[in-house]
Chain A
Amino acid sequence: MTALIIFICLVMLGIIVVQISRVREISAAMRGEEQASINSTNRNGLGLLVFMVVFLVGTVVSALYYKDSMLGYGPWESSSAHGGLIDSGIAITLFFTGIVFVATHILLFWFAYRYRKTKSPKADFISHDNKLEVIWTLIPAVVMTGLVVSGLDAWNTIMADVPDEAVIGQDYIEIEATGYQFAWDLRYPGADHLIGTKNFRMISATNPLGQDWTDAKNHDDIMPSEVVLPVGVPVRVRITSKDVLHNFYLPHFRVKMDAVPGMPTYFVFTPIVTTDSMRSRLSQYPDYQVPSDPEDPKSVPRWKAFNYELACAELCGTGHNSMRRIVRIVEKADYNVWLSEQPSVYLSTIRNTDDDPYKGQVVAAELALQKVELNTAMVNAMSAVDSVDRVVRLKNISYETGSANLTAVSSYELSNVVEILQQYPGIRVEIAGHTDNTGDPQSNMALSEARAQSVANYLTSNGISNSRFTAVKGYGSNREAASNDTEEGRAENRRTEFIVELPNKEEVPQQVL
């Protein structure tokens, strides 16, 4: 009903305007066309002049008002190494186009006002002036040449791929972003710094990118939910799409590139401002002191809640505006820690399932991971004070059923143990064998001791002195690590452990990795 009333009011208003206009035309005719036209000319001429002033002042004032969201200024300063080139290009272009904008508008409206028709009309017959034409062809041509040269110089610098001699993982890192309706999948190479191959026909519920698991490069690849990048390190983003066009857009870093199905694209950039330093920079601006959630006055201020963002900038369907990922720029050391904490997709979700082409076989990435894990566990045990924390389980050794004979695959873990013991010659360990509670406790005791002895024998035959062992013992099922009521618990109890003797202080390693 209100809508109807508003509509009727608008229609009435329209009718009134039309009627008044009619009357004006008629009264103008009565007053005399001549005078009416002079009055109208004066009014419009003045109007154009006033419009010019208001418009030009308005553009400048509004630009100043919004300066904090303009490129290259204050909070919007670029956070990438190349961004400054773009921002200064914009500043130079703004300078030249600004001059032309103001000058031509002043001339246009001033001439319109100044040369409006008067009572004694007089127009000069000026048809052309070739000299003027040449001048105002040459001046824009020269300015354009300058803008083209500087612009292309920046463009070719920014768009250059990583140099041929650059070493991946050392001089730069490569990550992959895959757009789909409606999110980004992110993929990082693991320790090998190489992203594995993928094939869109292999995409499935468990394999969202279609990674080819027979490619060893895939085995350590990770898929984090955020873009985390080390500050100061060039990153080459490989950009692809699974379905329609998307665009990998990092507004704060001046990065934008289409994601094209079937044709990988790339963008190389170097983040130069960490998320933390960006936040402290933003804290200087009043705009960022307001609560981050306008609904909740108690929420943290905007600068504290600030995050760099990844968006989509190519229309891709109904969810186009929701393809957000947080981007975090961190110090290099923090990046390495973060990276080491990310689980490999293959090892955490595919390994030894039916999708795994290497099911039941040894995989290099897994061995590498086991080595890192063992190393970490040993180093942690060495630095631990409490005796319970000095226990390290040898997770990846196994024995033939009912026997103390080590399986062939155990040699990977044991050779890692040899390496570690040689690396830290000062430490000594007890080798402890355990079983579950099934079967005869006597024979369990004997088996556990025989198994511990097998490990000891392996180590001594590989150059570790007997003196490094404080004891080689079997505990049978006396020391439960888990309940023996379930199969999982019993499996957990069948184990071989090191108990690391507290070493001398100077032998404690400083850093875990």
Chain B
Amino acid sequence: MSSVITRPQNEQAFIEEDGYEDHFHDHHHGDKYQSNFVTTYIFSMDHKMIAKQFLITGMFWAVIGAAMSLVFRLQLGFPAGDISWLEPFLGKWITISSSGVGSLSTEFYYAMVTMHGTILVFFVLTAGLSGTFSNLLIPLQVGARDMASPLLNMLSYWFFFLAGAVMFASLFLSTGPFSGGWTAYPPLSALPQASTGSAAGMTLWLVSLTLFVVSVLLGGINYVTTVLNLRTKGMSMWRLPLTIWAFFVTAIIGILSFPVLVSGFLLLMFDRGMGTSFYLSEIFIGGQALDHVGGSPLLYQHLFWFLGHPEVYIIVLPAMGIVSEVLAVNARKPIFGYKAMVYSILAIAFLSFIVWAHHMFMSGVNPFISNFFVIFTLIIAVPSAVKVFNWISTLYRGSIRFNSASLFAIGFVSMFISGGLTGIWLGNSSIDIQLHDTYFVVAHFHIVMGVAAFFGMYAGVYHWFPKMYGRFMNETLGQIHFWGTIISAYAIFWPMHYLGMAGVPRRYYSFANFDFTSQFGAMNAFITVAAFVAFSFQILMIVNFFYSMYKGKKMTTRNPYNATTLEWTTPIEGIHGNWPGKIPSVHRWAYDYGKFGEDAISQYVPVSEAEAEADKELVH
């Protein structure tokens, strides 16, 4: 069959001819945005550089957060083991017994658990994931020179950096960092008498996260504005790649929910420092009755989870978008059910705002109210299932290239299924009576929004690394990384389902006090070993990342994956403004893979009359 597709001979020349003239003039000797080292690498206003800043800062925090989990996993897996060798790093937080056996202090155990959660959820999986890829891909894939406001975009990163600096400082307080769990429920978080971590550590925690919310809002406003206003000619909403849909909706969720969190934090600050009683009532602690009466800890929980639940979609939607894109590119097929995918993203986003109290079934809220939250929670399973079926169908009759990115994308689908299905258990309030606050919950959310989101992030890093650094990451190391990670991640979290069903509560420093928790020593040791193995594979990934940045195989063509989206029409060496001349115009959706026997048709390629004719027959 002779092709009905008319392909332009020379991509660059065609874009100059067909593209959109926005009177952008690149300054060949640098411009006001990147004229020296500081404006290029530090206070950069270029979205690609900011994306790299988010990614590398996220990686820094990922290593810290993961290392913390190893420390407390040592305690849980080998409670009698000697960890005095950690004393040079942790100092007084290691208590040495008279027989010379070092163990983790209880305060620091809880501080590590708390910091691990806070860091991973906010700094790594929100900033590191959404911050990186929204910044990198939104302008490149919608066909924009940069973000709508490069200045706010720069501020977004630096507020994130500042938030991180404050949190980092809190690690070195003599009273220790905050230790009341990443959800920071008052009264524990409100009263320094209740826990040493609730003293200065909590103050810094609140300051840090408030700065972080500023960062998310500045970024989010930019993402939404850019997607709505700066799409290139022809790039209608229905032609956006699914990555952009995911980032766009994620940003909207963030804008709507993060301010509520700040309001919750503000009231908490008032309770801590100004004698108000929003969350406190009838408390006797440290030998005295407090003056606070009339408040309710449940108010905080409502405010927190009004962000907290959408937050898990803020984390997982970008991963879903990345996976959709990576699967389509590597299966050489359109994403199956593009519109269904968009509608399911929108449905998930909408539902994410009316399910928050499913975290509070056992908190003392009126059991009648829980009925509504059960219904909406389990409805989320429907759009989620649609997405899973569509990803699987995308592989069907494809021609799948296995590389690090596509392997992680497939792994994401597996993780999302495994972790998502247990959500159906926990979302059903009657089952949650038993499983709430047990290791079953730990298994569920680590698999579905921890490991799965990481898999999405890795798929994105391997896939777009060439777009960031002009080089490829080492494939062999990448595949070792994938296989090591998927096996060890399941080895860590799958057994936790059994722990949870046996009733073992989460956030226990020791399992020795209870008969019903003390029988799983071997399993806990196994989990800890698996965690160390998993960690070592992530170190391998970081080595690969920095090694490939300088020594990786060079990118020699603009479009190495033969993908359809616009980021692969830009020059290999990323330039400010993204396209040297005009911005390409868009004539088709992002998923013309395998159409009419063509491997891939880029979005800038016009639809010829012959193709339009053939299209009519294709549909019916």
B-binding residues in A (CB < 8 A): 3, 10, 14, 17-18, 20-22, 24-25, 37, 40-41, 44-45, 47-48, 51, 55, 58-59, 62-63, 66, 69-71, 76, 83, 85-86, 89-90, 93-94, 96-97, 100-101, 104-105, 107-109, 111-112, 115-118, 121-129, 132-133, 136-137, 140-141, 144, 147-148, 151-152, 154-156, 158-160, 180-181, 200-201, 203, 210, 242-245, 247, 249, 251-252, 254-258, 260-263, 265, 287, 302, 305-307, 309, 311-322, 324
**Alpha-carbon distance between A317 and B286 when the two chains are bound, in angstroms:** 13
B395 contact from A97, A112, A203, Cβ within 8 A: A112
Q: Distance in Å from the Cβ of B411 to the closest Cβ of chain A?
A: 9
Which residues of the other chain, A, contact B401 by a CB distance below 8 angstroms?
A: 37, 41, 117
**Alpha-carbon distance between A512 and B594 when the two chains are bound, in angstroms:** 92
Some 26 contacts from A to B, beta carbons below 8 A apart, are A3-B85, A24-B476, A62-B498, A90-B425, A90-B431, A101-B421, A105-B414, A118-B399, A125-B618, A126-B396, A132-B393, A141-B382, A148-B375, A151-B374, A156-B367, A256-B433, A260-B296, A261-B187, A261-B281, A263-B297, A305-B515, A311-B514, A311-B516, A315-B110, A317-B188, A318-B106
Which residues of the other chain, A, contact B367 by a CB distance below 8 angstroms?
A: 155-156, 159-160
Residue B620 at the chain A interface, CB threshold 8 Å: no
A-binding residues in B (CB < 8 A): 85, 106-107, 110, 179-181, 185-188, 191, 194-195, 280-285, 289, 293-298, 331-334, 336-340, 362-364, 367-368, 370-371, 374-375, 378-379, 381-382, 385-386, 388-393, 395-402, 407, 410, 413-414, 417-418, 421-422, 424-425, 428-431, 433-434, 436-438, 474-477, 479-480, 483, 486-487, 490, 494-495, 498, 501-503, 505, 507-511, 513-517, 519, 536, 539-540, 543-544, 547, 553, 591, 593-596, 599, 618
The answer on a CB contact under 8 Å between A71 and B297 is no
The answer on a CB contact under 8 Å between A152 and B340 is no
Q: Distance in Å from the Cβ of A218 to the closest Cβ of chain B?
A: 17
**Alpha-carbon distance between A459 and B490 when the two chains are bound, in angstroms:** 82
**Alpha-carbon distance between A41 and B402 when the two chains are bound, in angstroms:** 5
The answer on a CB contact under 8 Å between A115 and B296 is no
The answer on a CB contact under 8 Å between B505 and A125 is no
Q: A315-B185, A324-B514 are in contact. Are A200 and B284 (CB under 8 A)?
A: yes
Which residues of the other chain, A, contact B284 by a CB distance below 8 angstroms?
A: 180, 200, 203, 210, 242-243
The answer on a CB contact under 8 Å between B340 and A321 is no
Which residues of the other chain, A, contact B388 by a CB distance below 8 angstroms?
A: 104
Q: A89-B431, A124-B397 are in contact. Are A97 and B424 (CB under 8 A)?
A: yes
**Alpha-carbon distance between A124 and B394 when the two chains are bound, in angstroms:** 10
Q: A123-B398, A321-B508 are in contact. Are A151 and B389 (CB under 8 A)?
A: no
The answer on a CB contact under 8 Å between A263 and B296 is yes
Q: A14-B539, A55-B490 are in contact. Are A321 and B513 (CB under 8 A)?
A: yes
Q: A63-B498, A93-B428, A137-B386 are in contact. Are A324 and B513 (CB under 8 A)?
A: yes
The answer on a CB contact under 8 Å between B502 and A89 is no
**Alpha-carbon distance between A482 and B382 when the two chains are bound, in angstroms:** 82
Q: A127-B334, A244-B191 are in contact. Are A318 and B107 (CB under 8 A)?
A: yes
Which residues of the other chain, B, contact A122 by a CB distance below 8 angstroms?
A: 399, 594
A144 contact from B107, B379, B437, Cβ within 8 A: B379
Q: Distance in Å from the Cβ of A264 to the closest Cβ of chain B?
A: 9
**Alpha-carbon distance between A147 and B339 when the two chains are bound, in angstroms:** 28
Which residues of the other chain, A, contact B547 by a CB distance below 8 angstroms?
A: 18
The answer on a CB contact under 8 Å between B434 and A71 is yes
The answer on a CB contact under 8 Å between A151 and B431 is yes
Q: Distance in Å from the Cβ of B127 to the closest Cβ of chain A?
A: 25
Which residues of the other chain, A, contact B505 by a CB distance below 8 angstroms?
A: 249, 311-313, 321
The answer on a CB contact under 8 Å between A127 and B382 is no
Q: A90-B425, A123-B332, A263-B364 are in contact. Are A322 and B513 (CB under 8 A)?
A: yes
The answer on a CB contact under 8 Å between A315 and B338 is no
Q: A137-B382, A317-B195 are in contact. Are A155 and B370 (CB under 8 A)?
A: yes
Q: A18-B547, A116-B402 are in contact. Are A127 and B338 (CB under 8 A)?
A: yes
Seed contacts A104-B389, A126-B396, A318-B179; 11 additional CB < 8 Å A-B pairs: A18-B474, A37-B401, A86-B430, A108-B395, A111-B396, A115-B399, A129-B337, A137-B382, A251-B516, A311-B514, A321-B509
Q: Distance in Å from the Cβ of B580 to the closest Cβ of chain A?
A: 29
The answer on a CB contact under 8 Å between A242 and B283 is yes
Q: Distance in Å from the Cβ of B303 to the closest Cβ of chain A?
A: 15
**Alpha-carbon distance between A151 and B358 when the two chains are bound, in angstroms:** 14
Q: A136-B386, A265-B364, A314-B437 are in contact. Are A309 and B402 (CB under 8 A)?
A: no
**Alpha-carbon distance between A91 and B317 when the two chains are bound, in angstroms:** 30
Question: Which residue on chain A has the smallest CB distance to residue B379?
Answer: A144
Q: Distance in Å from the Cβ of B196 to the closest Cβ of chain A?
A: 8
Q: Distance in Å from the Cβ of A225 to the closest Cβ of chain B?
A: 16
Question: Which residue on chain A has the smallest CB distance to residue B475?
Answer: A25
Which residues of the other chain, A, contact B191 by a CB distance below 8 angstroms?
A: 243-244
The answer on a CB contact under 8 Å between A136 and B389 is yes
Which residues of the other chain, B, contact A66 by a CB distance below 8 angstroms?
A: 498, 501-502
**Alpha-carbon distance between A51 and B484 when the two chains are bound, in angstroms:** 12
The answer on a CB contact under 8 Å between B400 and A128 is no
The answer on a CB contact under 8 Å between B362 and A147 is no
The answer on a CB contact under 8 Å between A115 and B371 is no
**Alpha-carbon distance between A255 and B434 when the two chains are bound, in angstroms:** 7
The answer on a CB contact under 8 Å between B331 and A115 is yes
Which residues of the other chain, A, contact B507 by a CB distance below 8 angstroms?
A: 315, 320
Nearest 3 pairs of A and B residues by beta carbon:
A262-B281, A251-B503, A159-B367
Question: Which residue on chain A has the smallest CB distance to residue B410?
Answer: A112
Question: Which residue on chain B has the smallest CB distance to residue A90?
Answer: B431
Which residues of the other chain, B, contact A313 by a CB distance below 8 angstroms?
A: 362, 436-438, 505
Q: Distance in Å from the Cβ of A80 to the closest Cβ of chain B?
A: 11
The answer on a CB contact under 8 Å between A101 and B418 is yes
Which residues of the other chain, A, contact B332 by a CB distance below 8 angstroms?
A: 117, 121, 123
Which residues of the other chain, A, contact B429 by a CB distance below 8 angstroms?
A: 151-152, 155
B595 contact from A108, A125, A158, Cβ within 8 A: A125
The answer on a CB contact under 8 Å between A200 and B399 is no
Q: Distance in Å from the Cβ of A443 to the closest Cβ of chain B?
A: 55
Question: Which residue on chain A has the smallest CB distance to residue B367?
Answer: A159
Which residues of the other chain, A, contact B413 by a CB distance below 8 angstroms?
A: 108
Which residues of the other chain, A, contact B475 by a CB distance below 8 angstroms?
A: 25, 40
The answer on a CB contact under 8 Å between B502 and A70 is yes
Q: Distance in Å from the Cβ of B308 to the closest Cβ of chain A?
A: 15
Question: Which residue on chain B has the smallest CB distance to residue A2?
Answer: B85
**Alpha-carbon distance between A287 and B18 when the two chains are bound, in angstroms:** 75
Q: Distance in Å from the Cβ of B186 to the closest Cβ of chain A?
A: 8
Q: Distance in Å from the Cβ of A306 to the closest Cβ of chain B?
A: 7
A243 contact from B285, B392, B414, Cβ within 8 A: B285
**Alpha-carbon distance between A41 and B284 when the two chains are bound, in angstroms:** 65
**Alpha-carbon distance between A152 and B407 when the two chains are bound, in angstroms:** 39
**Alpha-carbon distance between A93 and B381 when the two chains are bound, in angstroms:** 13
The answer on a CB contact under 8 Å between A69 and B502 is yes
B424 contact from A40, A147, A210, A242, Cβ within 8 A: A147
**Alpha-carbon distance between A305 and B385 when the two chains are bound, in angstroms:** 46
The answer on a CB contact under 8 Å between B282 and A245 is no
B480 contact from A21, A76, A107, A311, Cβ within 8 A: A21
**Alpha-carbon distance between A133 and B392 when the two chains are bound, in angstroms:** 13
Which residues of the other chain, B, contact A94 by a CB distance below 8 angstroms?
A: 425
The answer on a CB contact under 8 Å between B476 and A25 is yes
Q: Distance in Å from the Cβ of A235 to the closest Cβ of chain B?
A: 16
Question: Which residue on chain A has the smallest CB distance to residue B520?
Answer: A69
The answer on a CB contact under 8 Å between B381 and A140 is yes
B333 contact from A107, A124, A154, A160, Cβ within 8 A: A124
**Alpha-carbon distance between A10 and B188 when the two chains are bound, in angstroms:** 41
The answer on a CB contact under 8 Å between B392 and A111 is yes
**Alpha-carbon distance between A243 and B286 when the two chains are bound, in angstroms:** 9
**Alpha-carbon distance between A420 and B547 when the two chains are bound, in angstroms:** 96
**Alpha-carbon distance between A66 and B396 when the two chains are bound, in angstroms:** 36
Which residues of the other chain, A, contact B414 by a CB distance below 8 angstroms?
A: 105, 108-109
The answer on a CB contact under 8 Å between B399 and A121 is yes
**Alpha-carbon distance between A57 and B154 when the two chains are bound, in angstroms:** 50
The answer on a CB contact under 8 Å between A262 and B495 is no
